Structure 1
Amino acid sequence: MLRELALFAFFLLVAIVLTWPLATNLTTAVSDLGDPLLNTWILDWDCYALTHTPLHLFDAPIFYPAKFPLAYSEHLVGIALLCLPFYALGFAPLTIYNIAILLGFALSAYGASVLARVATNRFVPSILAGFLFGFVPYRFGQLPHVQVISSGWLPLLLAALLVYRRSPTRLHATLLAGAFVMNGLTNIYFFLFGSVAIVLTIALIAIANSHDARFWWRLAGALVVASLVLLPFLIPYKIVSSEYGMKRGEEESLGASATWNDWLIAPKENAFYGRIADEEQRHGERQLFPGALVLFLTASAWLLTPLTLHPLPAPRGEGRGEGPRWLDALIIALAFVTYIGAVTKEIHLPWLDFSRAYVPATLLVICIVIRLAIRFPRAISDGNLRTAVSRSRFPFELWAAALWIVIGVLGSLGMHAFFHNFLFHQIQPFHAIRVPARWAMIAYTGLVPWSAAGAASLRRRWIVPLLFAIALVEVWPRIRWEHALVEPAPVDRWLAQTHAGPLIELPINRLNVLYLYLLRATTHHVPIFDGISGFEPPLHYVLREQPLTDATFLLLERNGCRFVLIRLEWFGWQAPQAIAWMRKGIADGRLAFVRRFDGGIAGDWLFALTRVEKNWRRFHVASDDAQLGRMLGGQNTYTDATFGQLYQPKHMSEIAGAMVVSGWALSPHGVRQINVLIDNARVRVSAGLFAREDVTRAYPWYPQTPRPAFAVTIPQRPKGVPEETDVQIEIIDGTGKRTLLPDVLITWK
């Protein structure tokens, strides 16, 4: 046990090093302000629900009043279970998310090392194989998706099945069931993909060896019990799919289906391979290159594994007759039908649509496997698949791993090949698969035993440290972290205290803002109409797409919305339309002003929908009414907090040579200092303060800040700062309190 803990700690240390400086910025760092914020919210809600209302886990407080909003994306319960201790200790939501990222890397590497040991019984080669799987380049290209990072249950699932095959005890059946459950609770994609791979591996076990009835009953019982445990976590997906039609179209899945060329492309986050491919060859989540070393080790295992020297007994049935002729005829017929279906869409039969060649192609493969399991064609051999496995120089574990490689590669081709195409059209849960390219993780799992076997076949001692050095160079990433503003806004603290909901936050038509709403929602867990996920319900789609009109009031009132929360500055050029909508709502008596909260530059404005919320006056702050008049008149309002704006550099801008940083900041306590934080705050540069009459006139309430403008010119990119980096402004007010402006990503050449 101590050795296992030490090994996991080693992989966790490697994860910390390769993602550095994430470990020192757990509270703020994300790969981007999109899906990481969604997954932060999901993990936070999981932990909250599991500790408060576990029977209402899927009744998440977004997309109100839609049914089971948690089922619109991955539920991540398996990851949340591992993070519950950190939640109980009071860690912040984003901190828990980043801990999950680090644990996901470490668990993936550790799980792969276990699989490699099961296959080879060699410790050091297994560590290398675990390293290559846990930190495969593809994983760093998936940093926004913690559920993809956390794929350690796939190798543990295969390892558990292989151990059960050797020793079919109750304990090993229980371990298999446990791995199956945790894989299903962690990632729906990997649950579906892993289930298919396990079923096909069980078929290979049946072909390769004879087992008694108890073996099969115990195996079936373990998988049935595991499936029953998972059933409550799967039913909500079926319900929302039926009720809202939440399924993927062929075109959407086609766009995320890999090609053979994608298997040669590494993500740009890889420091070694990431610069090789042209940008036009990169396709989102389809950058699947596993690295040259794992391919070299796999080839080494194939070429250097010695032949079996001891004679093997002839398996049952060897040397008897021929295979059934009718099966040969069926194979020929299916091959012809597959060819016709692949080249034309003009022929249709009632029982078989030629345009869907994946059906005959799948049947063709099944028939070929059955034919080979019965008897090889005489021209090939006088045996069958069982004799081939038993006489092979490779153990069964490598045969099973090879099967996973084939499954993963074929599956990753998605709608370009028959395998996933058949599953997509014939098995309903696969309709939800947006990214077939993620089948690649099944192939990576299959490469684990082969890479360990390859490393074990290289006998010279000096080779092992060389392989580890090459592996480190090969997987070394280049990650640009972005920093979220995680300090809860005053309105979010107020919502946490009053539970004043359901409410809608506006604007709702800007996707980047919707992610920020989810991060804010981790503070209060109040039902909101807003949300962003893998799917969206019809009501939310209408609210997001239509302009603010009387129809908006009607929709909100009919669906039980009590409050409207508006951050005007996020409307951008649409702010005048939002003000006109508020004016009309107040004039018609449908909207009542409740109060203003400090937040950003223009503040957060809370209104009540009077036809639903009758008792809104209990929250009304009359002293804010004057502020409302200024806001509705298009004027600035007073903020009793530090705030500011960065003019230069712009987000995602490219800079050559000197970088000019400029903007302004105001505070009721005065501004003592402005610091420019570069590259995760590793470099700090003080900016000069200057008077700016236009800012002072626009915000006349801050005599303590006579010099609101700041500017500094940095002549060149500081040493050690990468080209792709970040810039953030730190404001120190007169009391010494620190306020951060939104992080800005730049490319500085």
Structure 2
Amino acid sequence: MNFNNKLFVFVVFILLTIFMTYPAVFKMQGHVISDKGDPVFTSWVLSWDMHKFKTGLANYWDANIFYPASNTLAFSENLTGLAIIGFPIMLLTNDIILTQNILILLSFVLSGYCMYLLVNYLTKNPLAGVLAGLVFAFVPVHASKLPHVHMIAAFWLPLIFLYLHKYTDENKFRHLILFVVFYIAQCLTCMYLYVFVTPFVLTFAVYYAFKKRLNSTATIKLSLAIVLVFIFSFIFYHKYSDAGNMYGFSRNIQDIEAFSLRLESFFSAPFNNCLYSNIMHQNTPEGDLFIGFLAWVLVFLGLRAEMSKPLYKTSALRTILLSIWYGAIAYFTVLIALYLITKGDPSTTRPFTNIIWLLVLRFILDRKLRSACSGYIRNLDVDRKFYLYLSLIAVLLSFGPSIRFFNDRVFPGPYNVLFNYVPAFGSIRVVSRMSFIIILGISVLAGYGYNRIYQKYKNTGLWFVLIFILTAEFLMIPVTTPEIKTKNNIPEVYKWLGNQKGDFALIELPLYMGMKNVEKENERLYYSTFHWKKIANGYSGYFPPLYSYLYDVAKKFPSDEMIDVFGKMGLRYVVVNTAGYKEQGRGNIEGEVKKFASKIKFVKNFNEYFVYEIENSKLLSSASEITGNEKFISKKFWKAKSNFTNNYTYLAFDGEEETRWCTNSPRKPGMYFQLDLGNLESFKGIEFEMGQGRQSLFDFPGKFKIEVSNDSKKWITVFSKNTDSANMILPSLIFTPKKINALIKLHTVQTRYIKMTQFDNEETYNWSIHEINICN
């Protein structure tokens, strides 16, 4: 076997992929690999990208979901790099499921092969390269990302560092060009990995420029190359910034912490690992980083350094103190093992925290240990030292805002610095995906570990034994491959929509939201690839406020209010899935719709799908119904009272959108909020600012009246509403989704007192006012 032959090695990784992902290669058509959640969503993303490649790149970012929202492709990963690779396959097959499945398997092949290239270059040992490629491609944390094709496609990472090495070693311009190409390719393929690898690219440039003593010309070229990639990424990703600014998208610390690694993650195997999942799976979201036992052994061998002299001599006192220290370490280690086995709560004894402090204390007090560590680092060669630093820093960053062991926060994590001061990191939700940088470093060090074994024993038979053990530890077969309908057997309603002329928008009901129903909504996105009409439905990393609001209020469909809302959204068709309504206990939804025949007419029936057309459908043309140049009355002399939480009424006009007055109990008839303006004022409207929380959208009353008075005794009704509030909020949800408000315009009257009384009877939502403004 000639492992110097790159074609032969590529074939080896093809065969390994076929075996390690069995039976995926035999179910490439009509089946998705892993599950029908995110893989179905990413098939829609890839299909949209390729659709725009064929039809023109205008409005590339305005994908056909979440209509009438814009920049919807930027609500999640755009997968442009993978779409470019898969485009020829799609042209040949016209099958997006087959195309995506090929991309998934190809990503495993390329991940292994590209790591082989990197480690073979560093060690000059092709067997070490193949072993490192096996670790990188099939280590459990990598293989567990099967539902996320953009994460599986991590093969650009080793190529980025390979050509950085070649450039700093040989100072050839073609290597710098290839580095830029692969770095940009990573940018186009997966934003997560591009953002995560960037600090380490910068670290590499500084570290190797110093260690390899690059001349000023070479250093400037490398710096300019990195800046060029940054400029490209800024231009390419600016739509993400636009979407964030328009919709107020952001990640909070709680979201990030939930998807960060914890210390026990390193002892947790993914659920689909054959050997260890039953005994080592912790069931944390994307929090499994156990890489097997042999890989760690190889890493430790790879980090061994030849010492020119013994670490230090010991004494009787030192022996006693070290015995106490090791005893304490052993005690807390046993506690950690018990918590891992029982999955208990260590917050009372805090074993990991105590171990950290014991290590820090010894390092501070033990001069000989510091000297030994310094000597060890000096004896490591430049390359191993870099990948050790890379792995350790990536581990620390992967913990997110705080380093935790179960519920015990050991200490704050360095990720806080990136989150607070580097904008790109503020949009990252799943920090645990930093694990790909960790396994990059681990794979290289494991390659060095095998190279050390080979240099000592020169026995290739041992290599086969190690490959066998690694394969057994990484095995995850059989890979699940659920069926999915393809072009010939999709529901007829989607074929019919594809045959309808013109560019129009529709909504399919009932709407679904949340992880329990992700497959149902993603399936609609997938089916939309067969007609490419705009749909109000959607699923992504972010949801626009309008969809969140529609999800709740559309439960009241059919109603006059909801049909009007659909019309003002510019929706032409409403596709009613009666099977979905039957699951909700509404078996006669088509009968309910007949009662509104004057506003919505029946068009066609396809088994459980009923298609209706809205009679008056026209998207609101502007934000004319939202306050623009309205002038507001000064709040200096305002007072307020209410029959609920009266002591906090001032929060409704304190000038802070983040605060709010709230009834703290579900809405019911008779609740009132009374405002004293302090003086007689001209009154021609009220603006309610909703804040940015989804919950507050539903804290706005649907049925209420507004009364005015000059003496707070005799009241005149100037506004009364006995239907849902959707129409009042809709313009803002469409045109100013970051700052949602409801404006009620009235005929001008003179008044001092304004009283809002509601006659809603709501079981779930409160009544709250974030900020109230009075128009004059």
The TM-score normalised by the length of structure 2 is 0.66
- Counterpart check, 1:609 vs 2:614: yes
The amino acid that maps onto 2:30 is T
* 1:4-47 deviation per Cα after TM superposition (whole angstroms, max 9, x unaligned): 34322321221122111111111222311111100111111111
Measure the CA separation in 2 of the matches of 1:204 and 1:504. Answer: 54
> Which runs of 5 or more structure 1 residues have no equivalent in the other structure?
310-376, 615-749
> Which runs of 5 or more structure 2 residues have no equivalent in the other structure?
310-365, 404-412, 620-776
Structure 1 segment 356-435 matched on structure 2, within 5 A: 392=379, 394-417=380-403, 418-435=413-430
Q: Given the alignment, which residue of 184, 199, 219 partners 2:202? A: 199
SS state of the match for residue 286, structure 2?
helix
- Counterpart check, 1:590 vs 2:599: yes
The amino acid that maps onto 1:590 is K
* 1:242-279 deviation per Cα after TM superposition (whole angstroms, max 9, x unaligned): 1111111111111111111111111021111112125x
* 1:426-460 deviation per Cα after TM superposition (whole angstroms, max 9, x unaligned): 22221221111111110100112211111111133
Structure 1 segment 330-729 matched on structure 2, within 5 A: 392=379, 394-417=380-403, 418-459=413-454, 460=457, 461=459, 462-478=461-477, 479-486=479-486, 487-499=489-501, 501-509=504-512, 511=517, 512-546=519-553, 547=555, 548=557, 549-571=559-581, 572-576=583-587, 578-579=589-590, 581-586=592-597, 589-597=598-606, 602-612=607-617
The TM-score normalised by the length of structure 1 is 0.68
* 1:219-259 deviation per Cα after TM superposition (whole angstroms, max 9, x unaligned): 12212222333333301110011111111111111111111
Q: In 2 relative to 1, CA 405–81 (structure 1 residues): closer, same or farther, beyond 3 Å?
A: same
Measure the CA separation in 1 of the matches of 2:452 and 2:4. Answer: 28
- Report deviation, 1:87: 0.8
SS state of the match for residue 505, structure 1?
strand
Q: In 2 relative to 1, CA 18–539 (structure 1 residues): closer, same or farther, beyond 3 Å?
A: same
Measure the CA separation in 2 of the matches of 1:553 and 1:288. Answer: 50
Q: Specify the alignment match of 2:116 in structure 1.
A: 113
Measure the CA separation in 1 of the matches of 2:7 and 2:524. Answer: 39
Q: Specify the alignment match of 1:130 in structure 2.
A: 133
Q: In 2 relative to 1, CA 307–171 (structure 1 residues): closer, same or farther, beyond 3 Å?
A: farther
The amino acid that maps onto 1:516 is E
Q: In 2 relative to 1, CA 9–527 (structure 1 residues): closer, same or farther, beyond 3 Å?
A: farther
Measure the CA separation in 1 of the matches of 2:615 and 2:50. Answer: 34
Measure the CA separation in 2 of the matches of 1:384 and 1:214. Answer: 35
Measure the CA separation in 1 of the matches of 2:245 and 2:529. Answer: 29
- Report deviation, 1:3: 3.4
Q: Specify the alignment match of 1:97 in structure 2.
A: 100
Contact 1:569–1:575, Cα closer than 8 Å, also in 2: no
Q: Given the alignment, which residue of 3, 6, 17 partners 1:4? A: 6
Contact 1:137–1:270, Cα closer than 8 Å, also in 2: yes
Measure the CA separation in 1 of the matches of 2:231 and 2:599. Answer: 49
The amino acid that maps onto 1:465 is F
Q: Specify the alignment match of 1:741 in structure 2.
A: none
Q: In 2 relative to 1, CA 406–550 (structure 1 residues): closer, same or farther, beyond 3 Å?
A: farther
Measure the CA separation in 2 of the matches of 1:288 and 1:378. Answer: 34
Contact 1:93–1:522, Cα closer than 8 Å, also in 2: no
- Report deviation, 1:574: 4.2
- Counterpart check, 1:57 vs 2:66: no
Measure the CA separation in 2 of the matches of 1:227 and 1:496. Answer: 40
Contact 1:563–1:607, Cα closer than 8 Å, also in 2: yes
- Counterpart check, 1:66 vs 2:69: yes
Contact 1:404–1:443, Cα closer than 8 Å, also in 2: yes
- Which moved further from structure 2: 571-580 or 124-133? 571-580
Contact 2:209–2:219, Cα closer than 8 Å, also in 1: no
SS state of the match for residue 276, structure 1?
helix
SS state of the match for residue 524, structure 1?
coil
SS state of the match for residue 275, structure 1?
helix
Contact 2:568–2:618, Cα closer than 8 Å, also in 1: no
Q: In 2 relative to 1, CA 381–516 (structure 1 residues): closer, same or farther, beyond 3 Å?
A: closer
Q: In 2 relative to 1, CA 499–25 (structure 1 residues): closer, same or farther, beyond 3 Å?
A: farther
CA RMSD of aligned residues (A): 2.6
Contact 1:563–1:613, Cα closer than 8 Å, also in 2: no
Q: In 2 relative to 1, CA 108–164 (structure 1 residues): closer, same or farther, beyond 3 Å?
A: same
Measure the CA separation in 2 of the matches of 1:519 and 1:495. Answer: 14
Structure 1 segment 154-173 matched on structure 2, within 5 A: 154-173=157-176
SS state of the match for residue 301, structure 2?
helix
Contact 2:168–2:209, Cα closer than 8 Å, also in 1: no
- Report deviation, 1:577: 7.3
- Report deviation, 1:307: 5.9
Q: Specify the alignment match of 1:635 in structure 2.
A: none
Contact 1:162–1:397, Cα closer than 8 Å, also in 2: no
The amino acid that maps onto 1:592 is K
- Which moved further from structure 2: 264-273 or 492-501? 492-501
The amino acid that maps onto 1:20 is Y
Contact 1:107–1:152, Cα closer than 8 Å, also in 2: yes
The amino acid that maps onto 1:583 is K
Q: In 2 relative to 1, CA 13–379 (structure 1 residues): closer, same or farther, beyond 3 Å?
A: closer
Q: In 2 relative to 1, CA 37–85 (structure 1 residues): closer, same or farther, beyond 3 Å?
A: same
- Which moved further from structure 2: 465-474 or 499-508? 499-508
Q: In 2 relative to 1, CA 604–173 (structure 1 residues): closer, same or farther, beyond 3 Å?
A: same
- Report deviation, 1:610: 0.9
SS state of the match for residue 414, structure 2?
helix
Q: In 2 relative to 1, CA 380–135 (structure 1 residues): closer, same or farther, beyond 3 Å?
A: closer
Q: Given the alignment, which residue of 184, 206, 209 partners 2:187? A: 184
- Report deviation, 1:118: 2.4
- Report deviation, 1:300: 1.2
The amino acid that maps onto 2:424 is P
- Report deviation, 1:556: 1.7
Q: Specify the alignment match of 2:272 in structure 1.
A: 269
The amino acid that maps onto 2:288 is Q
The percentage of counterpart residues that share the same residue type is 26
Measure the CA separation in 2 of the matches of 1:93 and 1:100. Answer: 10
Q: In 2 relative to 1, CA 430–114 (structure 1 residues): closer, same or farther, beyond 3 Å?
A: same
Structure 1 segment 205-354 matched on structure 2, within 5 A: 205-277=208-280, 281-303=282-304, 306=306
* 1:393-445 deviation per Cα after TM superposition (whole angstroms, max 9, x unaligned): x3322122112201221111112142222211222221221111111110100
